Structure formats: structure tokens, C-alpha cells
Amino acid sequence: MTSVVLEFSGGLELLVDGKKRLEQEVPDKLTLGGLIGWIRSNLIKERHELFSQGQRIRPGVLVLINDVDWELEGKETYNLSSGDCISFISTLHGG
């Protein structure tokens, strides 16, 4: 298993029992797309469509890899390493 830190904010924390940050063991050799699918199946209890459609993150949810915009890191194709911090931030809630 690979150990990563997951962060949920901007309202997404409500999909994972209000947890904003969790240290999580995930299967080895996941891509970020694979991680998104894994989170959807294993951590999210309800309203899955607010997070992703399969491995495709919902448009309007920002993803950061170690605090860097995932668009600079290959998005879904990024290979997860132990110790990575992945942040999911919704922009879809009122302002």
C-alpha cells in the first residue's frame, strides 16, 4: 500500500464525513485518475456525482498535487508516490 495525504475543501469535505484532511493508505501504483476512482468507491458515501464521474473529476473541482495545480503535472496520468498530498477544492459553492 502507498501512504498519501488527502485534503477536501470548498464543501467537498461534506462528502467524506466532514473530514478536511486524512492520511490514507491506497493501493500501489495508482495514477491520479485511479486515485479519483478509488476515492469515489471507498471514501465517498453519498452524492458521488458531486465528486467525479468514474475517474473523471467533476468540472469545477480543483486538484492540487503537493500544492501545485495538477494541470502542470499531467492531470489524471500523474503517478502517485508515497507521501504525496492531493488536495481537492470545490469552486462550486456560493461566494
- DSSP letters spanning 14-76: GGGTT-SEEEEEE-TT-BHHHHHHHHHHHT--S-GGGTEETTEEPTTEEEEETTEEGGGTTGG
Q: With respect to another protein, which residue has the nearer C-beta, 24 or 90?
A: 90
Rg (CA), the chain: 12
Q: With respect to another protein, which residue has the nearer C-beta, 2 or 9?
A: 9
Sites of contact with another protein (CB under 8 A): 9-11, 14, 59-60, 62, 64, 67-69, 71-74, 78, 87, 89-95
**Shortest gap between Cβ of 40 and another protein (angstroms)?**
18
3 has which bridge partners?
A: 25
The H or E element that residue 87 is part of is: strand 85-90
**Shortest gap between Cβ of 28 and another protein (angstroms)?**
19
Q: With respect to another protein, which residue has the nearer C-beta, 1 or 59?
A: 59
**Shortest gap between Cβ of 68 and another protein (angstroms)?**
5
**DSSP 8-class letter at 93:** S
Q: With respect to another protein, which residue has the nearer C-beta, 43 or 76?
A: 76
